[in-house]
């Protein structure tokens, strides 16, 4: 096989993994768009229906690390392809669910399956990548999550509006079935991790390097995604306008985020995970600070184009952060790289929940301006913590899990 055929095969495999994260991301977030319909049909309040989102997030956060440890020896292709089959089946049953209690159980099952698949998908992408292109491969896979936000979720919501909420889950099941078929055909057989034992893997996950990275993710997600969660009051306070304009701002953030994942992957390969991580987060923090400053000084008169530009920069930096973050955790985790990514993803969900709570308090007291200022303050703390983490524990100049070249730096972990 010549190099052109090898590159084409690798590209096709990465697209399979991208589509896996796309269907998982769509399933995770689409429920927000059909909550009113679920609440009305099931005879519960929207607040109660919203717990379907909460139980998914909590289950994922708690389950990802132990599931990564349990499935570490499993062959990667079997885990991903088998997990997709189960995930598609769960969504098909969800489309037929008879009661709210069953819906709740199915959301737990979907979260458990997603928690098992997602870290393995990122680790598999790194192992499939050519030398020096690990960041780009992770960026491609991460783009699936971004695309699910600004394409998959709106499409699912439109289906739900036109044909009922069940059609959204039926569509996810059909899409997952297609991804399952392609993955079964194209993904190669890769062995699981070496049998190092549970205790040894837990020792790796308890390294200060890994734990400090996870702590940075928790705090960074609390501040960074707080801006996205409360983008409606932030942009309303900035421009004095709402309604259809909010959809424009969300679309701008999504499109910029998709570009950010690609650029973040390339920067990871070119600069190393550490520099790319600090750069991408600094860009997001600068945009958040710009939103806060504009909100304080303009009092509802900020030009729409300026807000859109700041939102675009925020989305670009926030999603460019994903490839170096995952590449760094894979490298610091070493033989337990997949488990380190799973632990870090759990930290991300914890940070999102924390940011939602803190942001809710800020918006209740000071509106969108309070959210932007709070997010900026948290971001400054996070940046300081990241600088300490990178200086103290630079990404290792050793292979990550599966023999992937790690990039620059020396091992201090």
Q: What is the pLDDT of residues 147-181, one digit of tens each?
A: 887 777 778 878 887 888 899 999 999 999 999 99
Residue range 91-116: average pLDDT?
Answer: 93
Q: What is the mean pLDDT of residues 67-95?
A: 92
Same domain, 310 and 226: yes
Asked whether residue 71 is domain-assigned, the answer is: yes
Q: What is the mean pLDDT of residues 265-287?
A: 93
* Per-residue model confidence (pLDDT) at position 202: 66
197: confidence class by pLDDT, cuts 50, 70, 90: low
394 and 283 part of one domain: yes
Query: Same structural domain for residues 17 and 37?
Result: yes
Percent of the chain at pLDDT > 70 equals: 91
The pair of structure tokens assigned to 206 is 């308890």
Residues 50 and 12 in one domain: yes
Q: pLDDT at position 374, please?
A: 94
Same domain, 230 and 316: yes
Q: Work out whether the CA dihedral 67, 68, 73, 76 comes out positive or negative.
A: positive
With respect to residue 264, please indicate whether it lies within any of the assigned structural domains. yes
Q: State the average pLDDT over residues 112-139.
A: 86
Residue 153 and residue 30 share a domain? yes
DSSP annotation of 150: I
Structure tokens at 27: 């399933």
Residue that is last in its domain, among 162, 186, 210: 186
What is the pLDDT at residue 128?
Answer: 87
d(CA 388, CA 16): 36
Mean predicted confidence (pLDDT) in 64-84: 88
Does 270 fall in a domain?
A: yes
Statement to judge: residues 213 and 360 lie in one domain: yes
Q: Is residue 413 part of a domain?
A: no
Confidence at 193, pLDDT banded by 50, 70, 90: low
The answer to whether residue 412 sits within a structural domain is no
Q: Residue 198: pLDDT band by 50, 70, 90 thresholds?
A: low
User: What mean pLDDT comes out for the span 180-194?
Assistant: 85
CB-CB neighbours of 255 under 10 Å? 17
Statement: residue 38 has pLDDT above 60: yes
Looking at residue 17, its pLDDT comes to 93
| Long-range own/partner contacts, residues 238-245 (CB < 8 A, 24 or more apart) | 238/291, 238/294, 238/295, 238/298, 238/300, 238/302, 238/307, 238/368, 239/300, 239/301, 239/302, 239/303, 239/304, 239/307, 240/300, 240/301, 241/304, 245/304
pLDDT at 113: 96
Give how many domains the chain has, as a whole number: 2
* Residue 79 covered by a domain: yes
**Judgement on whether residues 240 and 303 belong to the same structural domain of the protein:** yes
406 pLDDT more than 70: no
**What pLDDT score was predicted for residue 85?**
97
Predicted local confidence at residue 204, as pLDDT: 67
Mean pLDDT over each residue of the chain, to the nearest integer: 84
Q: What pLDDT is recorded for position 412?
A: 35
Co-location of 11 and 160 in the same domain = yes
Decide if pLDDT at 42 tops 70: yes
Taking the C-alpha atoms of residue 250 and residue 248, their distance in angstroms, rounded to an integer, is 5
Confidence at residue 332, expressed as pLDDT on a 0 to 100 scale: 86
- Say yes or no: 221 and 334 in one domain: yes
Of residues 264, 273, 268, 277, the one with CA closest to residue 217: 277
- Do 178 and 283 have their domain in common? no
Average pLDDT over residues 199-210: 74
Q: What is the pLDDT of residue 61?
A: 84
Check residue 243 and give its pLDDT. Answer: 67
Of 147, 162, 186, the position where a domain reaches its end is 186
Q: Is the dihedral of CA 95, 101, 107, 110 positive or negative?
A: negative
Of 263-277, 290-304, 329-343, the range with the lowest mean pLDDT is: 329-343
pLDDT tens for residues 83-98? 999 999 999 999 999 8
Average pLDDT, stretch 274-278?
A: 94
> Comparing 46 with 104, which gets the higher pLDDT?
104
pLDDT digits (tens, 9 = 90+) for 312-354: 999 999 889 988 988 898 888 877 777 888 888 888 888 877 8
Could you tell me the CATH number of the domain that includes residue 215? 1.20.1250.20
Residue 405 has pLDDT above 50, yes or no: no
Residue 75, in any domain of the structure: yes
Domain boundary among 128, 151, 186: 186
Whether 408 is in a domain gets the answer no
Range of the domain at 389: 198-403
Asked whether residue 71 falls in the same domain as residue 152, the answer is: yes
């Amino acid at each position: 096989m010549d190099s052109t055929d090898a590159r084409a095969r690798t590209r096709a495999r990465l697209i399979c993994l991208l589509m896996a994260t796309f269907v998982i991301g769509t399933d995770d977030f689409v429920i927000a768009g059909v909550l009113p319909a679920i609440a009305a049909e099931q005879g519960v309040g929207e607040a109660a229906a919203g717990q379907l989102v909460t139980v998914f997030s909590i289950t994922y956060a708690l389950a990802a690390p132990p599931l990564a440890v349990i499935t570490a020896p499993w062959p990667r292709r079997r885990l991903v392809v088998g997990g997709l089959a189960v995930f598609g089946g769960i969504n098909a049953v969800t489309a037929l669910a008879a009661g709210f209690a069953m819906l709740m159980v199915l959301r737990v099952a979907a979260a458990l399956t997603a928690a098992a698949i997602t870290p393995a998908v990122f680790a598999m992408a790194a192992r499939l990548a050519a030398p020096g292109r690990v960041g780009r491969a992770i960026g491609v896979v991460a783009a699936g999550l971004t695309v699910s936000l600004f394409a998959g979720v709106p499409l699912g919501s439109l289906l739900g509006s036109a044909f009922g909420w069940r059609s959204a889950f039926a569509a996810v099941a059909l899409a997952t079935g297609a991804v399952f078929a392609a993955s079964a055909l194209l993904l190669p057989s890769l062995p699981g991790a070496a049998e190092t034992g549970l205790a040894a893997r837990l020792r790796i996950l308890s390294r200060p390097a890994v734990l400090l990275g996870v702590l940075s993710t928790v705090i960074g997600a609390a501040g960074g995604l707080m801006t996205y969660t409360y983008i409606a009051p932030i942009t309303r306070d900035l421009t004095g306008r709402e309604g259809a304009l909010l959809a424009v701002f969300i679309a701008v953030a999504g499109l910029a985020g998709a570009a950010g994942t690609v650029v973040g992957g390339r920067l990871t390969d070119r600069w190393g995970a550490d520099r790319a991580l600090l750069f991408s987060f600094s860009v997001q923090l600068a945009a958040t600070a710009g939103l806060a400053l504009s909100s304080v000084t303009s009092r509802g008169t900020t030009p729409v184009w300026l807000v859109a530009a700041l939102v675009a920069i925020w989305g670009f930096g926030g999603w460019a952060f994903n490839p170096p973050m995952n590449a760094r955790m894979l490298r610091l985790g070493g033989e337990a790289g997949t488990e380190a990514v799973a632990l870090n993803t759990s930290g991300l969900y914890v940070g999102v929940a924390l940011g939602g709570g803190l942001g809710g308090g800020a918006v209740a007291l000071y509106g969108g301006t309070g959210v932007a200022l709070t997010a900026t303050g948290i971001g400054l703390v996070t940046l300081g913590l990241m600088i300490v983490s990178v200086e103290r524990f630079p990404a290792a100049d050793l292979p990550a899990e599966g023999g992937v070249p790690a990039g620059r730096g020396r091992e201090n972990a």
